[in-house]
Copies of this chain bind each other. A is one copy, B any other.
Amino acid sequence: MAPVGRPRSDASHAAILKATYELLREEGLARLTLDKVASRAGASRSTLYRWWPSRGAIAMEATLDMLNQELSLEPKSDNALAEFRRLLKSVARAMRGSTGPIMAGILAECQRDPETLRVFKENLVAPRRAEVVPLLERGIQDGSIRPGVAPHTILDLTFGAIYHQLLLHVPTDDAWMDGVIDILVNGIAAKPAA
């Protein structure tokens, strides 16, 4: 049971993630090469390949580390719908910074590497949804959200809208996000009786 041999170097691990993260901010995932990561981290490419299967995997780990710091769901409890609003705005705000292009790059990488997509869904999409879906279900029960809508579909729409702007490189602002939320909450159909 006792691990034998020289242990993995935490310093090297940290240096690699740091170098990856810096390079992602500077040049984006598209121009990220393992050569650059290794040389900036003072590591060798062998070490990278020993611990990660692909470029996408390294970028993913570096990004998840960063995202999980940046985005934390603080569960204030008033109306569930109001809380959902706050959540969306915080996501949109995060994507407005240098995190946005990195996320777009990761989504792109997911298209060329199924394994990266799997990790992305498993370690980012699924956990986030697992937090938000109960919130929406609570909203249905407390009467702020109408019954009959599938929480997952709500999330497809909202994150879809944010991804859409990200991928098309359309900058977002609070007004845009307010418009999105308004449509999402109230719909676009004219009310029968105003």
How many angstroms between the C-alpha atoms of A70 and B41 in the bound complex?
A: 49
A157-B184, A161-B157 known; A189 and B146 CB under 8 Å? yes
> Within 8 Å CB of A185, what residues of B?
187-189
Instruction: Say yes or no: A180 contacts B153, CB within 8 Å.
Output: yes
A-B contact pairs, 6 of them (CB 8 A): A105-B111, A108-B110, A146-B186, A149-B179, A157-B161, A159-B160
Chain B proximity mask over A174-193: 1 for CB below 8 Å, otherwise 0: 00100110111111111100
Q: Which of B164, B167, B187 contacts A187 (CB 8 A)?
A: B187
Cβ-closest chain B residue relative to A172? B156
Beyond contacts A107-B111, A144-B189, A163-B164: 13 other A-B pairs, Cβ-Cβ < 8 A, are: A28-B111, A30-B112, A108-B110, A110-B168, A111-B167, A117-B169, A149-B183, A153-B180, A156-B164, A157-B157, A163-B167, A184-B187, A185-B187
Binding site for B on A (CB under 8 A): 28-30, 81, 104-105, 107-112, 117, 121, 125, 143-150, 153-154, 156-157, 159-165, 167-170, 176, 179-180, 182-191
